[in-house]
Amino acid sequence: MQQLKGYGIICAMSEAMKSIVEHREDMLNVPKVGEIVSGQVIDKARNALYLDLGHLGVGVIYGRELLEDSEKFRETKLGDQLNATIQSLDNEDELIELSLRSISIEQSWKEIKSVLETGSILEVEILDANKGGLIVRIQGVTGFLPVSQLAPDHYPRVEGGDKNKILERLKSYVQEKFKVKIIGAERDSEKLIVSEKAAIGDEMSHILKDINEGDIVEGAVSGIVEFGIFIKFNKDENELEGLVHISELAWQRIDNPGDIVSVGEKIKARVIGVDGLRISLSIKQLQDDPWSEVEKKYKVGDEVKGEVIKVTPFGGFIKLDDDIHGLVHVSELPPEFATDPSSVLEVSKKIKFKIISLQAKEHRLGLSLK
């Protein structure tokens, strides 16, 4: 009996020693900046939370660290257990300074990475805009939606490419909600890029599989830009949009698409390509090529009267008739005008030229003033 009692005392001493050793180990385990610790909320001020961190002492989370998670701050009560990241081991108040934000941001990036990998579609609110695109926020992380990644309906089509008007159009989307996909997420550089085009890609790909090269579509001009025009048309009850590049508007040279079409105008076009979500159209391919008959009207050596429609440092473009335009190169001007073509070539001026070359297949006609 005495022997059992002695054994019990030894066990109790052993447990006590174990507890002391563990406590000493805890005391020796000095935390580091960036380490996550857990503590109980012991006080809540207007702009700060105080946590009991046990043997480490008292930690504090200041208002600036709570701003981005204000909802959590409001809901936190005395006695709640919180995890936080150590920002400073000894601040001016001799407290351990903590951050809730660091943990929430790390968690946000984990969730963002997961969304990127799964290819899920998100609905985001447009917070702001700059000349390059739109600002969004996902899981508390600021992201960017570049202009190039906007869906056709939201692409800022501004005639002349006026940057201020483009920005004005982009700012009109603030507070609207767009469906997007994350296409780039780099935690180290804190870059988050999203795409509206990618979000509608699967749906559009299914629709576009029935659009074939050579199809003729009929729609209305929905936008005019310096490089061409956009046409909206319907296909199997789906509204689609294609681009007619300036080079596909007409057989003759066009400098300003707005000179030959206007927004809302009904128009037909031929599909000449489908690349991803891009539908390329042509208007001129629905018209007879005037160059196929050009050799019946003009021949090398003929003297013709033409109107100057554009002057460049390398010469001038000359309109012979509504369909056929030619080029007088600077080398074919009298020597005294070679350094300054505009001194002899004035826009709208009619001048007599000599045809020196004619390549119907290449749509080229060379003129000379020599």
Full DSSP string of 83-125: EEEEEESS-TTSSEEEESHHHHHHHHHHHHHHHHHHT-EEEEE
Q: Which CATH class is domain 2-102?
A: mainly beta
* CA contacts within 13 A on the Cβ side of 84: 30
Segments making up each domain of the chain, as ranges: 2-102, 104-199, 202-286, 290-368
- CATH superfamily placement of domain 202-286: Nucleic acid-binding proteins (2.40.50.140)
* Distance (Å, whole) CA 336 – CA 344: 10
- CATH superfamily placement of domain 290-368: Nucleic acid-binding proteins (2.40.50.140)
Q: Do domains 2-102 and 104-199 have the same CATH topology?
A: yes
Contact 291, 363 (CB under 8 A): yes
Is the entire prediction scored with pTM above 0.75? Answer: no
- Domain 104-199 sits in CATH at 2.40.50.140
Per-residue pLDDT of the chain (370 residues; tens, 9 = 90+): 444 444 444 444 445 444 444 444 444 466 788 787 889 999 988 888 899 998 889 999 887 666 655 666 777 889 998 888 888 887 777 889 888 766 667 778 888 999 999 989 999 999 999 989 999 988 878 999 999 999 877 888 776 667 888 899 999 999 999 999 999 999 888 899 999 988 887 677 777 878 889 999 999 998 888 889 999 998 877 888 899 999 999 988 888 898 889 999 999 999 999 887 789 999 999 988 999 889 999 999 999 999 999 999 899 999 999 889 999 999 999 888 878 898 899 999 999 999 999 999 899 999 999 8
Phi, psi of 30 (to 5 degrees): -75, 125
